[in-house]
Structure 1
Amino acid sequence: MLRLFLVLMLIPMAGSAQTESPGNAYNKSLADSLGADEYGMRMYQFVILKTGDSTITDKEKVATLFKGHMENIGKLVAAKQLIIAGPFAKNPQQYRGLYIFTTKTQEAAEALLATDPAVKSGLLKAEIYGWYGSAALPLYLPFHQQIEKSKH
Structure 2
Amino acid sequence: MNIKILYFFMVLLLLSCNKDAKHTEVASDNMANDIVKEEKQSIKELKEELKAKGYQTFDYIDEKTRDTIVMQQYFIAFLKRGNNRSQSKAEADSLQKLHLAHLGKMYEMGYADISGPFGDDGDIRGITIYNVPTLAMADSLANADPMVKSGRLEIEIHPWWAGKGLPLR
How does the TM-score come out when normalised to structure 1? 0.66
Show structure 1 runs of 5+ residues with no match: 1-26, 141-152
The aligned counterpart of 2:4 is none
State the one-letter code of the partner of 2:76: F
- Determine the C-alpha separation between the residues in 2 that align with 1:50 and 1:42: 25
The answer to whether the Cα contact below 8 Å between 1:85 and 1:100 also exists between their aligned partners in 2 is yes
Q: Count residues with an aligned counterpart.
A: 114
State the one-letter code of the partner of 2:120: K
Q: Percent of counterpart pairs with the same letter?
A: 30
The aligned counterpart of 1:136 is 165
Higher RCO (CA < 8 A, seq sep 6+): 1
Q: Which among 112, 129, 145 is matched to residue 141 of structure 2?
A: 112
- Aligned-residue offset at 1:110: 1.3
How does the TM-score come out when normalised to structure 2? 0.60
Cα 1:37–1:28 shift into 2, 3 Å: farther
The answer to whether the Cα contact below 8 Å between 2:143 and 2:155 also exists between their aligned partners in 1 is no
The aligned counterpart of 1:65 is 95
The answer to whether the Cα contact below 8 Å between 2:84 and 2:152 also exists between their aligned partners in 1 is yes
Residue by residue over 1:116-136, the C-alpha shift from the partner in whole angstroms, topping out at 9 and shown as x without a partner, is: 100110101011000111111
What is the SS of the residue equivalent to 1:42? strand
- Aligned-residue offset at 1:91: 4.8
- Determine the C-alpha separation between the residues in 2 that align with 1:57 and 1:114: 19
